[in-house]
Structure 1
Amino acid sequence: MSMRSFSDRVRHAVMFELIGIAIFTPAAAWLFNQPVAHMGVIGVVSTVATAWNFMFNLGFDHALVRFTGRVAKTMPIRVAHAMLFEAGLIVLLIPFVAWYLGISLWPALMMDSSIVAFYLVYAFAFNIAYDRVFPLRRLGAHGRTASRALPA
């Protein structure tokens, strides 16, 4: 059994955030009729999600191994993974969105719900793509990486 390395988790988190911001910023500016700069700030501050992404995925993998004995994710586990990840972000980011845009918590929650919907789909698709582009490798008898990848 093999888990993702620390450096692999760093690569995962950085790629997730950079690609997400590149898609999110112009789309959110258009959708919410806000200046791109405002949505860019919201997107960059949302990189709090980078730390959350790293900690959440590391913890999720450890919990998965503890409860199932493996790191391979089934489709229901992938859905739960994406939903739990986004639920944590709601709690972290709504107060900032409300303060920065000068709106109350309810409109911030509605805006954040739209953002969460985007990132929920994005996280689901990104993680499948990441697992295919950077598959886990089995360790051979001598600790070397074998040529066969583990299922995603």
Structure 2
Amino acid sequence: MAKTGRDFKDRLRHTFLFEVILLALATPILALIGHTGVETAALSAVALSIIAMLWNFIFNFLFDIFIIKNTGTIKKSSHHRILNAILFEVGLLAFSLPVIAYALQISIVQAFIVDIGFAIFALIYSYIFNYTYDKLFPINSSLEESSNNTSFVQES
């Protein structure tokens, strides 16, 4: 079993806070750019949020395993944080396009343009949120210290 530095409850808190804050920011933006009512924008944002929460939980779990396996530590450099944000948004793009196209009654190409704009916004938000989250809810320091001496991912 891989140790990733964060337990299940912490990952749930991370995912929930990430999405709630993003939802509060995204709903008015979606209503504005989609020329839809706030209700349609909110429902679309909630659907996208559910997709993103599932993807966030799975992706960050796997990303932490990747970091530990390749560096031997859970500590993330700026390079790792940038890589995390970009890979997360690219993966989310594949899941979100059909929802955006359907909700806004636009083509996939138009949804792609909308999603790229939102992905740029979310990319910046993701970096800032994850940096802040790690500062507010640090990983157990004994785990960080011992990661310098041992591997947390058991080899198969």
User: TM-score scaled to structure 1, two decimals?
Assistant: 0.86
Percent same amino acid among aligned pairs? 35
What is the aligned counterpart of 2:6 among 1, 4, 23?
A: 4
Aligned residue type for 1:97 = I
Give, in angstroms, the shift of residue 2 of structure 1. Answer: 6.6
Give, in angstroms, the shift of residue 133 of structure 1. Answer: 0.5
Q: Does 1:78 align with 2:81?
A: yes
What is the aligned counterpart of 2:138 among 132, 135, 138?
A: 135
What residue is the counterpart of 1:41 in the other structure?
Answer: 43
- In the alignment, the residues of structure 1 paired with residue 4 and residue 66 of structure 2 have an alpha-carbon distance, to the nearest angstrom, of 14
What residue is the counterpart of 1:56 in the other structure?
Answer: 59
- In the alignment, the residues of structure 2 paired with residue 37 and residue 65 of structure 1 have an alpha-carbon distance, to the nearest angstrom, of 42
Give, in angstroms, the shift of residue 30 of structure 1. Answer: 2.3
What residue is the counterpart of 2:22 in the other structure?
Answer: 20
- In the alignment, the residues of structure 2 paired with residue 54 and residue 2 of structure 1 have an alpha-carbon distance, to the nearest angstrom, of 12
Give, in angstroms, the shift of residue 27 of structure 1. Answer: 2.4
Q: Does 105-114 or 32-41 show the bigger shift? A: 32-41
**Count of equivalent residues:** 140
> Gaps spanning 5+ residues in structure 1: where?
141-152
What is the aligned counterpart of 1:90 among 90, 93, 99?
A: 93
- In the alignment, the residues of structure 2 paired with residue 110 and residue 87 of structure 1 have an alpha-carbon distance, to the nearest angstrom, of 13
Q: Does 24-33 or 45-54 show the bigger shift? A: 24-33
Deviation per residue, 1:32-67 (Å, 9 max, x gap): 432212221221011210010000011100111011
User: Kindly tell me: are residues 101 and 30 of structure 1, through their superposed partners in 2, closer, same or farther at Cα, counting changes over 3 Å?
Assistant: closer
What is the aligned counterpart of 1:119 among 103, 122, 133?
A: 122
- The runs of 4+ residues in structure 1 deviating greater than 3 Å are none
Give, in angstroms, the shift of residue 103 of structure 1. Answer: 1.1
Deviation per residue, 1:105-145 (Å, 9 max, x gap): 110101111111111111110000000000112238xxxxx
Aligned residue type for 1:118 = F
Compare relative contact order (CA 8 Å, sep 6+) and give the higher one, 1 or 2.
2
- Cα contact 2:67–2:73 (8 A) shared by 1: yes
Deviation per residue, 1:68-123 (Å, 9 max, x gap): 11111111110010000000010001012112222111101011111111111111
Aligned residue type for 1:132 = K
